[in-house]
Amino acid sequence: MPKKNNGQAKSNDGLVMLANIFLNWKVLLIFMVAGAIFGQLNFSLFPPPYKARAVMIMDHNLEEVFPSAPDREIFYFLERETQKLEAIAWSDLVLQDVVDTIDGYSIEDLRSGSLILSQPYDGGWNMYGVADNRETARMLANAWADSFTEVVRKGVENARLLKQAQKELESIPADELSTSVRAKELNIEITDLEKSSLGIHPEIEVYRSEASNLKVMPSVKTGSYIIIGAICGFVIGVVGLAVRRPEDGG
């Protein structure tokens, strides 16, 4: 029984201490305001990197690829093609052009946070450049979007040429394939086009919806610094009042 009473007493003491802390709400408010001011000051003195956004429009022309098909098949196709395009966006072929355009960066740097691809899907793609300098962030986003657009368009063109070559090869009679000079030329052409088409389908269309005056913003908003500062101030205030109470009582 004494143990039970001691436990209950400790619990009551804890509740009393907690109540006393929150009765000093003015003190907690002062700590929160001070924390918010510190957060704003920290944002001003040590600003986060800037982030520039280039918006791409990606159209898979599903009505041409699938005039009539079940939703499941369309969804699978769209997911697969989006994964291909995402891989192309991060490929050496695309990133090397960015490295050649902007000094001081390597492909490893670009893949380690200097470039961000947000929510790729059929429609709008957001391609971000991140840097400590506003203009550098804008240049990164522009160079990445331009390089990606050029590579995809070349891949689409080669995919269409591949489709034409395959149709022409199919039109040659089977008994002439082994002796036809044109059939041999087409086989060589098809082999080359299969590599340069990047495995994407020929109905894709891609273009930039924002090619100038790209939006540049801090990668972390000022409000986030203020809120985090206020929370830290609140916690420090609670801890400070909790530590001070026993001393006041003694």
pLDDT at 216 over 80: yes
pLDDT at 250 over 50: no
Tokens linked to 168: 């022409």
pLDDT at 219 over 50: yes
pLDDT value at residue 153 = 92
Give mean pLDDT, residues 131-157.
92
Tokens linked to 220: 């972390």
CA distance 23 to 2: 31
Domain boundaries, the chain: 2-46+223-249, 50-153+203-219
Dump pLDDT digits (tens) for 113-138. Answer: 899 998 665 567 889 999 988 899 99
pLDDT value at residue 1 = 46
Tokens linked to 86: 């995402």
Backbone phi, then psi, for 215, in 5-degree steps? -70, 125
Write the CB contacts of 240 (distance below 8 Å, at least 6 apart in sequence): 31
Q: What is the CATH number of domain 50-153+203-219?
A: 3.30.70.1130
Dump pLDDT digits (tens) for 198-209. Answer: 888 888 888 888
Dump pLDDT digits (tens) for 26-82. Answer: 888 888 888 888 888 877 777 788 999 998 888 877 767 665 656 677 778 888 888
Give mean pLDDT, residues 74-95.
88
CA angle 238, 34, 236 (to 5 degrees): 20
Write the CB contacts of 62 (distance below 8 Å, at least 6 apart in sequence): 74, 77, 78, 122
